[in-house]
Structure 1
Amino acid sequence: MKIINDSLKREILIKTTPKRIVSLVPSQTELLYDLGLENEIVGITKFCVHPYHLKATKTIVGGTKKVDFNKIKALQPDFILCNKEENSYDFLPELEKIAPTYFSDVNSIQDSLNLIANLGNILNRRTESINLIEKINFKLTNFKSFIKDKPARKVAYFIWANPWMVAGNNTYINEILKLNKFENIYANRSRYPKVEINKIRHEGDPDVIILSSEPFPFKDEHAMEIATYTNRSVTVFADGELFSWFGSRLLLSFDYFKELHKKFESHF
């Protein structure tokens, strides 16, 4: 029996090492799997698509914003994993009636590494978590060397259309943009502000428009619409998972970012 603190500084009593876990966060579901906890996962969301076969072998308990508490209770979990951004904090009272509930809050790569270490400790996967952290840090160091001499570029990172919404300040995405030497023209705004694209030229006129693959399915017509309001922007359709998923997904992110920068070299 031990008392742990989650990312929100809440004290959680863990009686024994959890063996039946419900994850309500896609990136954290993937992390659990990569820590060797596939057998311990009993419930996931419909958005938990990595690894894909889990959707056929685990119980789907809803989405990230709306869950079926009765389904979760029926699974008899001894640990529930949530995230401050992905899930509603209103879930907490009902979830706590069912099992100890851990809320993560990840706004930087260091936060992500801390989460990996914490879950490794809680779930008796210390060796696996240490190895994963070492691999991520190796790739991070290599990427920082790669990006060091790259020019900074102004960007706008869109996550939704009609209403148009972007990633702003105090977000994990914004931290990833900074790592890439992308200067977010909306970094002085709230986390995910609505914006008027007809004002984009006056608000920073970005060199690059990034249209994320999630949560909105952007298409060519969206890129063309934004382009009418910019002077010189290059528009890219980006893999949103590699910009917004934390945890073990970082193992893939840095190589993807390198390829993205190489593509830009032919445009500028």
Structure 2
Amino acid sequence: MRAAPAVDAAGVAHAPAGANARIVSLVPSITELLFALGLERQIVGRTGFCIHPREHVRAVPKVGGTKAVKIDAVRALKPTHAIVNIDENEAPTVEKLRAFVPDIVVTHPLVPRDNLALYALLGAIFDRQDAAARLAGSLEAKLRALAVEAWPEQRVLYVIWREPWMTVARDTYISAMLRLVNWHTWPAVRGGSAGAARYPPFDFDAPWLANVERVLLSSEPYRFTAAHRDALAADASLSGKTVQLIDGEMVSWYGSRAIAGIDYLMRLARAAG
């Protein structure tokens, strides 16, 4: 019996790919997921930010960055499939790819549980249903482990950039990951479908900062360091607040990384008391 088409985040149905599929991934966390699904022989291109798994991605040609894709480099690889993300890749770039890539697979996980659909989508397209089911089982087990613990509420500011300072809205994947351990991001805003609004700028004199108990400085996209942490911890405007570094990959990367990311957040929350 013929398999039913798999439907992506843009509502597009994709027929199962053959064994000769040639995949270009323009999403770092998706590249890692493709390797976890056992598709290493079919991955022909990736961005320079696709750095995991480190021992394998070195052999895959780079095609620029997530926001600066080299269209000619992608074209030269003759891909049958390109995998993109609504937040990470720009719409004009995706439209250029549609001119010569037969299948554009659009992803857009917004909460950790969306990874289950993501595993199933890619598993169905690339005939890796068993591997996708194993990942889904692992993620479900982590989510069950979360549910049996009581997590004290924390009000947090998750910082992703400086000059200007930028944070995350509550309808981002990052904010949803943090909510798993009852950490709630401030300000209490939602960004909707607009990319910029999902990652709003802020000032440290904002009135809502009084609600924040913990400031989390992410390792990506801006690489905050111990020096940044120490400088902010000494700032009088943050008196009484905990300022700490956080591994951005563990919080913002979906796909297979979400499984390890939940373990990481549980350790972080336990240490915070």
TM-score if structure 2 supplies the norm length?
0.90
Shift of 1:3: 5.0
Q: Aligned-pair RMSD on alpha carbons?
A: 1.9
Q: In the alignment, which residue of structure 2 is the partner of 1:176?
A: 177
Q: Quick one: structure 1 residues 127 and 205, their matched pair in 2 at CA, closer, same or farther if it must change by over 3 Å?
A: same
Aligned with 1:254 (options 240, 250, 262): 262
User: 1:17-53: CA deviations, max 9, x gaps?
Assistant: 5621000000000000000001110100101111113
Q: CA offsets per residue over residues 170-195 of structure 1, 9 Å max, x none?
A: 10011112111012121325311000
Corresponding letter in the other structure for 1:114? A
Asked if the contact 1:136/1:251 (under 8 Å) is kept, the reply is yes
**Between 57-66 and 7-16, the greater mean CA deviation after superposition:** 7-16
Mean Cα deviation higher: 100-109 or 202-211: 202-211
Q: Give, in angstroms, the shift of residue 134 of structure 1.
A: 0.6
Paired with 1:88 and 1:213, the residues of 2 have a C-alpha distance of 23
Shift of 1:220: 3.5
Structure-2 separation of matches of 1:136 and 1:57: 28
| Residue 205 (structure 1) shift | 3.3
1:184-209 deviation per Cα after TM superposition (whole angstroms, max 9, x unaligned): 1213253110001122x544431111
Equivalent residue, structure 2, for 1:7? 9
Offset of 1:225 from its aligned partner? 4.5
- The partner residue of 1:31 within 9, 33, 36 is 33
| 1:207-232 deviation line (CA, Å, top 9, x unaligned) | 11101100001134433454421231
Q: How many positions carry a matched residue from both structures?
A: 262
Q: Tell whether the 8 Å contact from 1:3 to 1:13 is kept in structure 2 after alignment.
A: yes
Distance across 1 between alignment mates of 2:243 and 2:209: 17
Question: Is 1:194 matched up with 2:197?
Answer: no
2:222 maps to 216
Q: Secondary structure at the match of 1:106?
A: coil
Q: CA separation in 1, counterparts of 2:19 and 2:188?
A: 41
* 1:107 corresponds to: 110
* Contact kept? 1:185, 1:204, Cα under 8 Å: no
What residue in structure 2 maps to residue 54 of structure 1? Answer: 56
Q: How does 1:109-258 map to 2 (within 5 A)?
A: 109-146=112-149, 149-190=150-191, 191-199=198-206, 202-227=208-233, 228=235, 229-258=237-266
Does the C-alpha gap of structure 1 residues 15 and 144 become closer, same or farther in structure 2, counting only changes over 3 Å? closer
**Contact 2:6-2:121 at 8 Å conserved across structures:** no
The offset of 1:13, in angstroms, is 5.9
Verify the 8 A CA contact 2:169 2:189 in the aligned structure 1: yes
Stretch of structure 1 that moved more, 10-19 or 42-51: 10-19
Query: Per-residue displacement from partner, 1:159-180 (whole Å, max 9, x unpaired)?
Result: 0011000011210011112111
For residue 197 of structure 1, give the secondary structure of its aligned residue in structure 2: coil
Q: Which runs of 5 or more structure 2 residues have no equivalent in the other structure?
A: 192-197
CA displacement, residues 126-166 of structure 1 (integer Å, 9 cap, x when unaligned): 111011101110111112223xx221011010000110000
In percent, how many aligned pairs have the same letter?
Answer: 33
